Amino acid sequence: MRSVSVLGATGSVGESAFDLLMRAGGAQAFRTVALTGGANVARLAEMARALRAEIAVTAWPEKLAELRALLAGSGIACAAGAEAVAEAAARPADWTLSAIVGAAGLPPGLAVLNRGGTLALANKETLVAAGPLVMGRARRTGARILPVDSEHSAIFQALQGEDLESVEHVTITASGGAFRDWPLERLAQASVAEASRHPNWAMGQRITIDSASMFNKALEVIEAHEFFGLGSERIRVLVHPQSIIHAMVTHRDGGSIAHLGAPDMRHAIGYALNWPARAELPVPKLDLAALGSLSFAAPDEARWPALRLAREAMQAGGAAGAVLNAAKEQALDDFIAGHIRFTDMAPAVERALEQAAREAGFAQSPGDLDAVLAWDGFGRRAAAQGRGAA
């Protein structure tokens, strides 16, 4: 029987994965090793009971007593804290999904790679903050990373049977998020509630706001750069409001292979779960005649400065990805908390990148987890310091 673990099971991607596992036979079809979550221990306990997990782990130590009470009599072990999440990830399983949000996903992701496991990666921050370390670790241990971010899954699928050498560039599409059509001068007044509504995808709040600011696309461009080893000039972003084409690979001979599908994460998760095979998935099939037309536009960098910052970070290399990601997480926290405006996020990230370049330089890519975490702390402090100036 195949064994699986889901890190971040109680989130948006985690719920989609749970749905797929249950539909595919649940505890009859899979041996679930570990499920992890955060604050929502009630849902974590429900999932752990449904899949008869060996262990359920909450990232929050203060939630352990509640989780233990919820699992009483089930025979399911429980634990709490960031280290316990990484230990759960280290337990052998054939397939481990990382659907934690933020840089907190990095230590457990590395724990999967350290044991040479298969890591289905939704947590893009793992690659943005520590791409060279993560890819190097996977090569050394023979671990496999399967992309779950929909655009990267799309590129990965379009590349099956192709030679990366023949690729001229890849194109990642972006819906444009909540504010695609807003007048630029209104953006400074955008509220957290307005930024948390996505036109096409149902996702966690943080990635939804990142879609409105295009920081999500900025992270994805860096993710593609690290995962596929493509230079920044070979990765393009295209605004595509309908979110039907997820990505496109353009070969040197002029042929482009696009990946199309309904905006439903169960496709990308299911593809990674069944790879290299394909299985029936509960995803709506496209009816292009009903859709009628698809539209495209070049991204407006005045509206979405995050895209320029991603390019600059890729050109700087070294620790710039770790700083960009951490500064973005801090700026997003500050926006959600009401400390800064929507339009203050990109300048906060830019200041952090400039400060890091000035004070420390980016020469070396962080070689271990401690080095990444040190840069992560630097990025958060630099973004928070700028708060007063915003």
Residues in contact with ligand NDP by the rule CB under 6 A: 8-14, 37-40, 59, 85, 99-101, 104, 122-125, 149-150, 201, 203-204, 206-207, 265
Rank residues 217 and 351 by Cβ distance to Mg ion and give the closer one: 217
Least distance from ligand NDP to the Cβ atom of residue 163, Å: 27
What is residue 39's DSSP assignment? Answer: S
Least distance from Mg ion to the Cβ atom of residue 150, Å: 5
Structure tokens at 371: 């080095």
Rank residues 200 and 390 by Cβ distance to ligand NDP and give the closer one: 200
Which one of Mg ion, ligand NDP, none is in contact with 117 (Cβ closer than 5 to 8 A by kind)?
none
What is residue 160's DSSP assignment? Answer: T
Cα torsion angle, 294, 295, 296, 301, sign: negative
Q: How many residues bind Mg ion (CB under 5 A)?
A: 3
Structure tokens at 349: 């990230």
Rank residues 210 and 334 by Cβ distance to Mg ion and give the closer one: 210
Which one of ligand NDP, Mg ion, none is in contact with 47 (Cβ closer than 5 to 8 A by kind)?
none
- Classified as helix, coil or strand, 244 is coil
Least distance from ligand NDP to the Cβ atom of residue 169, Å: 22
Rank residues 100 and 272 by Cβ distance to ligand NDP and give the closer one: 100
Does residue number 149 form part of the binding site for Mg ion (CB under 5 A)? yes
Structure tokens at 301: 């960098």
User: Would you say 240 and 174 are in contact if contact means Cβ atoms under 8 Å apart?
Assistant: yes
Rank residues 150 and 343 by Cβ distance to Mg ion and give the closer one: 150
Tell me which long-range contacts 241-245 makes (C-beta under 8 A, separation of at least 24).
241/175, 241/176, 241/180, 241/199, 241/295, 242/175, 242/200, 242/291, 242/294, 242/295, 243/173, 243/175, 243/199, 243/200, 243/201, 244/286, 244/291, 244/294, 245/173, 245/294
Q: Which stretch binds Mg ion (CB under 5 A): 55-63, 143-151, 185-193, 317-325?
A: 143-151
Structure tokens at 224: 């593609």
Q: Which residue is nearest to ligand NDP (CB)?
A: 11
Q: For the window 150-169, what string marks contact with Mg ion as x by the rule CB under 5 A?
A: xx------------------
Residue 244 CB neighbour total at 10 angstroms: 18
Least distance from ligand NDP to the Cβ atom of residue 30, Å: 19
* Interface positions with Mg ion (CB under 5 A): 149-151
